């Protein structure tokens, strides 16, 4: 389904994803929020590695670092096989998810390789600072700094500083939107938001009530993520409470929601609010999918299809 702001379709949970969730429940592992952050981070890396198919071949991957507001910011740069040396490629800044607490360059390596291959664009992933060690606004400050660096220096990577997209999943989608809004540059032509965080979970939506337990992302985990990220600060800041903030002036936006995701309704509301603010929004809904499905390509093809869909859209935008 691909259209402007559809009424959200409902569907049974993808059978393969349902089987994965049943197996996970039977293992009886402690909830994510009961784990020390370093343990939770390693578990996330291991899960992404175990449940994803080998990513497609791409041209080159290399590392660099830039000066960030809290010290050096590591970047991982992915170049497609189709790269032609005489031509500057469009560039995608990828901001990983993980609730502001877990997630890193390793957890999302396969995602970035897949996006690089299908979009045929340079992909730059940023290893921004994580909570609780570095609470808000460390993460959005780091992502903003990376975007400003790309605007000034993308050509040093073989990328076109006039053709930039910012993409993220979950917490990373929120950070992607915030960076694009803070920078307000015409060269940022597209924004890709995969199951974005858009409101504080203390105001649960129907999708939280339907999907807040047993579907990978839980209400308990989200409360832990947000509390760790905010560090006691108010959840009403416009860089956190997106649904209560000004969305005018954002670039063309592709937004994906999953039918069995606690964040489904806030993602849909964000698409509606952005559209009402004059943003060119394409909202794609995957009714049988769960949160974090982009990592589970060995379980179900829906996550890979999502990345292919977004890549095709990006190629039309930049």
Active-site annotation holder among 117, 261, 283, 300: 261
Q: What pLDDT, on the 0 to 100 scale, is given for residue 3?
A: 40
Adjacent-strand bridge partners of 89? 159
Active-site annotation holder among 96, 291, 297, 300: 291
Q: What pLDDT, on the 0 to 100 scale, is given for residue 1?
A: 30
**CB 163 within 8 Å of CB 92:** no
Q: What pLDDT, on the 0 to 100 scale, is given for residue 7?
A: 76
Q: What pLDDT, on the 0 to 100 scale, is given for residue 140?
A: 98
Q: In whole angstroms, how far apart are CA 264 and each of 13, 45, 130, 178?
A: 14, 24, 24, 19
Active-site annotation holder among 170, 205, 297, 300: 170
How many domains are contained in the chain? 1
Q: How far apart are CA 143 and CA 151, in angstroms?
A: 12
Q: What pLDDT, on the 0 to 100 scale, is given for residue 4?
A: 53
Domain of 96: which CATH number?
A: 3.40.50.1820
Residue 66: inside a domain, yes or no?
yes
Per-residue pLDDT of the chain (318 residues; tens, 9 = 90+): 334 556 799 999 999 999 999 999 999 999 999 999 999 999 999 999 999 999 999 999 999 999 999 999 999 999 999 876 668 999 999 999 999 999 999 999 999 999 999 999 999 999 999 999 999 999 999 999 999 999 999 999 999 999 999 999 999 999 999 999 999 999 999 999 999 999 888 878 999 999 999 999 999 999 999 999 999 998 999 999 999 999 999 999 999 999 999 999 999 999 999 999 999 999 999 999 999 999 999 999 999 999 999 999 999 999
Six-digit token pair at 244?
């209560």
Residue 23: inside a domain, yes or no?
yes
- 10 in catalytic set: no
| Buried b / exposed e along 190-222 (16+ C-beta atoms within 10 A) | bbbbbbbbbbbbeebbebbeebbeebbbbbebb
Residue 98: inside a domain, yes or no?
yes
**CB 198 within 8 Å of CB 270:** yes
- 291 in catalytic set: yes
Residue 252: inside a domain, yes or no?
yes
Give the domain extent around 67.
Answer: 17-317
- 109 in catalytic set: no
Residue 139: inside a domain, yes or no?
yes
pTM check: above 0.95: yes
Residue 206: inside a domain, yes or no?
yes
Q: How far apart are CA 91 and CA 120, in angstroms?
A: 9
């Amino acid at each position: 389904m691909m259209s402007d702001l559809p009424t959200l379709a409902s569907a049974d949970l993808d059978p393969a994803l349902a089987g994965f969730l049943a197996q996970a429940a039977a293992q009886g592992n402690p909830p994510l929020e009961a784990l020390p952050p370093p343990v939770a981070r390693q578990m996330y890396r291991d899960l992404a590695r175990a449940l994803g198919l080998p990513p497609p071949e791409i041209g080159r991957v290399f590392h660099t670092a830039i000066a960030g507001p809290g010290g050096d910011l590591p970047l991982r740069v992915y170049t497609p096989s189709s790269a032609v040396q005489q031509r500057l490629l469009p560039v995608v800044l990828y901001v990983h998810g993980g609730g502001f607490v877990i997630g890193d360059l390793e957890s999302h390596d396969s995602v970035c390789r897949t996006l690089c291959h299908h979009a045929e664009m340079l992909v730059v992933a940023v290893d921004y600072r994580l909570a609780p060690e570095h609470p808000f606004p460390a993460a959005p400050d780091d992502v903003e700094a990376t975007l400003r660096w790309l605007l000034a220096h993308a050509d040093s990577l073989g990328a076109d500083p006039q053709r930039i997209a910012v993409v993220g999943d979950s917490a990373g989608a929120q950070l992607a939107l915030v960076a694009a809004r803070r920078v307000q540059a015409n060269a940022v032509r597209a924004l890709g938001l995969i199951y974005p965080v858009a409101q504080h979970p203390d105001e649960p939506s129907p999708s939280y009530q339907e999907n807040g337990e047993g579907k990978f992302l839980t209400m308990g985990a989200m409360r832990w993520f947000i509390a760790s990220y905010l560090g006691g600060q108010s959840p009403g800041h416009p860089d956190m409470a997106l649904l209560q903030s000004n969305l005018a002036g954002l670039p063309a936006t592709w937004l994906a929601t999953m039918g069995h995701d606690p964040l489904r309704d806030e993602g849909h509301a964000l698409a509606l609010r952005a559209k009402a603010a004059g943003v060119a929004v394409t909202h794609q809904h995957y009714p049988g999918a769960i949160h974090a499905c982009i990592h589970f390509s060995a379980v179900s093809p829906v996550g890979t299809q999502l990345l292919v869909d977004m890549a095709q859209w990006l190629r039309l935008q930049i």
